Structure 1
Amino acid sequence: MTPRLAHLRLISWLGVAALLLGLWQISTPIALGDDLGGPATTIPPAISGGTVAVVLSLLPMMSPPDARWTAPLFTITGWWIVAGPWLAEGATSLVRLNDVVVGGTLALVGFAVSLLTRQPKPLTRASLPGFTDLRAHEPV
């Protein structure tokens, strides 16, 4: 297996992990017994953050080479999920702990996707040790 193929597979698996985290986050209010009461016009942060994570996770799963732009969005969504219980009223300590774990993990997924999809610097003679040639900045 080539290193490029290994990176693409890992990006796909990170997309699957983000999908599972998003689905868990959507089901969290019901699974943990969180109160869904409140104004009918507001969407709980757990459901909105989970929905964004599910939608974003589809791109790394289906097309890993194009997943580069999803990395910062995963990180922002993760921090949004972490901040959600403190912005909403009446969150229990179990819900807060769950959101910190899920949001932090989603932010780490975003960081990992950004590391795996970054473009390598082009190799030049100047970057190789021992070269002091005038043509040092030409591509190898």
Structure 2
Amino acid sequence: VTHDLGVAAQIADKVAVMYAGRIIEYGDARDVLMHPVHPYTRAMLSSTVKDQMRGAPLDTIAGTPPDLRALPDGCSFAPRCKYAGPDCFKEMPPEVTDGRNHMARCAKVQVVRGLLAFDPGVPAAPALV
């Protein structure tokens, strides 16, 4: 268990990203960290020091974490997610997978996945359904 994704990238074969006590993305460490499809995972990775200029403020995730004693019916990250729609607040999204052992719990995976910049020399993973 770590909050340091750099450490996870160096020592783990698999990574499970948790938010509010729930696994929201899981898969091979390289795939999850290089091609995250859950908005929380993407936000965490964008707030790391490696992408920041020295002395520049780090990116943050807007809003506040939910009260773990009273989790919402829908996605726990929805109130903080810039991609959230009405469906995200109603029920917990189902697990979706790309068939390569990469799972995410997000109703907006296709939207987020469309934002990824894949290496043109590497074929994109099959669409998450």
- Bigger helix share: 1
> Which has the larger Rg?
1
Q: Which of the five TM-score ranges fits, normalised by the shorter chain?
A: under 0.3
The alignment's TM-score, normalised by the length of structure 2, stands at: 0.25
TM-score of the two chains, using structure 1 as the length reference = 0.24
Structure number having the greater strand percentage: 2
